[in-house]
Amino acid sequence: MLAKDWPSLIVWLVLCLAAGFGSGWLTREGVNGWYQTRIKPPLTPPDWIFAPVWTALYILMAIAAWLVWSHREATAGGVPIILFLVQLGLNFFWSLIFFRWRQAGWAFFEIILLWLVIAGTLDAFSHISWIAGALLIPYLAWVSFATYLCGANWLINRGGPPAKPMPQGCDAAAHSSN
């Protein structure tokens, strides 16, 4: 079955890598500008490490989603795939919240939600394919580390450089957190 379903692997790879590269492209100004002015918490890796790590994680995520997609008759109405897409969306928007809109506090709360959805996705995937579940373990581990970095960055830099105004239509309460 998997051999016949390889075109869907390409779709999952494109989707996951596009989410990563898209959020990276949209946040490059904040990463190269605002983020560089922030005090970094202990254990912050060098900037160059993030691109290869995230690329590898997006590839693992795509393979995991493909494995589950390939067994879609056993996916209980598509709930695992829906969870996967929700976490992918949360992943994409975390970068915008933190780097583009400079809302470190909101990003911290969003990454906690992201972590919970990843954990739920991992669990749901594991019931269909233990390999798919195992492929998400490095992602959950990295987001656990990223949660520490995000929360510590927010706490260390409270009162730091001002947040960038949110785009039209976003909740005004989000402006109160740095």
* Cβ–Cβ < 8 Å for 8, 71: no
Domain carrying residue 64: 3-165
Instruction: Give the pLDDT score at 31.
Output: 85
Averaged in consecutive runs of 10 residues, what is the pLDDT profile of the chain (178 residues)? 78 98 91 90 95 97 96 75 97 96 96 98 96 98 98 90 55 43
CATH number of the domain encompassing residue 90:
1.20.1260.100
Question: Phi then psi for 72, rounded to 5 degrees?
Answer: -60, -20
Whether 56 maps to a domain, the answer reads yes
Residue 134 is assigned to a structural domain of this protein: yes
Total domains, the chain: 1
The answer to whether residue 108 sits within a structural domain is: yes
pTM equals: 0.86
**Is residue 177 in a domain?**
no
* Residue-wise DSSP of 88-130: HHHHHHHHIIIIIS--HHHHHHHHHHHHHHHHHHHHHHHHH-H
**Predicted local distance difference test score (pLDDT) of residue 178:** 43
pLDDT at 30: 84
- In sequence order, the 6+-apart residues with CB closer than 8 A to the CB of 51 are 24
Residue 176 included in any domain: no
Instruction: Flag whether 178 is in a domain.
Output: no
Has residue 174 been placed in a domain? no
What gap in Å lies between CA 134 and CA 59, rounded to an integer?
13
Residue 51 lies in a domain: yes
Report the alpha-carbon distance of residue 150 to residue 44 in Å, rounded: 10
